[in-house]
Amino acid sequence: MRVLYALALSAIFLAGSVFAQSGKIAGRVTDDSGAGLPGVNLFIPATLQGAISDLDGYYTILNVSPGTYALRASFIGFTTQIVEGVRVNIDQTTTVDFELTEDAVGLEELIVTAELPVVQADVSNSQLNVTSDEIEALPVSSINSVVGLQAGIQGLSVRGSGSDELSFMVNGLTLRDERNNAPYTSISLSSVEEVQVQTGGFNAEYGNVRSGVVNVVTKEGGRNQYTGSAILRYSAPAQKHFGSRADDPNAYWIR
């Protein structure tokens, strides 16, 4: 019985971590008169995820990984419509509404471009999302540099607090250095899909956070192509090892 309880609790916590690292797409599908269309097929080709609109035309696609997608709406008797450039962020709802027109003569599909609203009604905390494209354009070489560029943050110090008061998460798991309880941020920037920095108004899912939250989501592999990157660094000639020998008992702090 204890094993069952432990498994149930683990499933709950893991589910919460997954939801915290993904977003969702929601909206409504209507016709020319503004009436909701039930049974419309909403589909994301890149992830093979989708949903069906309800009786009033509303739909929701859950657990969508952060990224930019195309969303397709199709219904028998109406023109298929594709919205491109739909941006999904961590733990946020992206609203995409469709207005379909009747397809009496077999019209071709209609393609439009999504626009992100200036004010997002479902966000109550102070946060900033940095995408992989933005990271490539910034003069940064580490996650610490990305976080440190945000307003009110110096290094990993948020609003004057120590770095040990910062919650650093990667794909839903909190990473901390066991030696000094500081956030473990040694992650290659080439593997990062999105970085979310929160500096106030945290949701209850993050627990006892005192200064800030850094949410990192890594990239997923593609089905049709291989990609990679290389980084070259150079340093002046110097001594190979510094400090104590590797077999010294006190060398734990420098390993």
Counting Cα atoms < 13 Å in the Cβ hemisphere of 74 gives: 10
Q: Which of 234, 221, 164 is nearest to 193 (CA)?
A: 221
pLDDT above 50 for 14: no
Q: How far apart are CA 114 and CA 82, in angstroms?
A: 10
pLDDT above 60 for 98: yes
pLDDT above 80 for 231: no
Contact 86, 94 (CB under 8 A): yes
Most confident of the following: 9-13, 40-44, 146-150, 175-179: 40-44
- Tokens 């110097």 belong to residue: 238
Q: Which CATH superfamily is domain 126-218 in?
A: TonB-dependent receptor, plug domain (2.170.130.10)
Which residues of the chain form CATH 2.60.40.1120? 2-113
Tell me the residue type at 109: E
Which residues of the chain form CATH 2.170.130.10? 126-218
- Tokens 């040694």 belong to residue: 186
pLDDT above 50 for 255: no
The band of 37, judged by pLDDT with boundaries at 50, 70 and 90, is: very high
pTM of the model: 0.59
Pick the CATH number of 2-113 from 3.40.50.2300, 2.60.40.1120, 1.10.1040.10, 3.30.390.10: 2.60.40.1120
Residue 163: per-residue pLDDT: 75
Q: How far apart are CA 39 and CA 29, in angstroms?
A: 10
- Tokens 């734990």 belong to residue: 252
